[in-house]
Amino acid sequence: MAIPKKVRAFFQYILFTGVGVLILILVYRSQNAAYIADCALKGIPDSECSLFEKLKSDFASVNYWWILAIVLAFIMSNVLRAHRWLLLIKTLGTNGKFQMLSLPLWLAILQTWAFQGVGEVVRAGLFAKYEK
């Protein structure tokens, strides 16, 4: 008996979200232990040493205009990269759409953050799949 596509997609989403949350919890626990050890070295009592409170205060003091500028520069660089790739694809005699080039590009960037060099294969494979 085959599992319907929507049910399989739902369970995949739950699985990968759960794995992501588990990784975040494990990282937080190890960083919290290191932060408490650092506080102990500085002579700060454990009751006054909270990584969560430090994160809250750090995020409260952030200048969000710089973050916005970085995000806009990142988006612009990837839009220009997709246009450059479109020009390269057109020299091969294949007509591609910008939308079909930008989505694989964004997914390839995410893959490259996880596994170095895999993004190039992902980008080409997704483009070939959707543009035939």
Per residue in 48-74, pLDDT (tens digit) is 888 888 899 998 999 999 999 999 998
Mean pLDDT, range 106-116, rounded to an integer: 74
pTM: 0.56
Domain ranges of the chain: 1-62, 63-132
Who has greater pLDDT, 55 or 123?
Answer: 55
CB 46 within 8 A of CB 35: no
CA–CA gap between residue 126 and residue 108 (Å, rounded): 9
pLDDT, mean over the chain: 84
Predicted pLDDT of residue 130: 67
With a CB cutoff of 8 Å and minimum separation 6, the contacts of 116 are: none
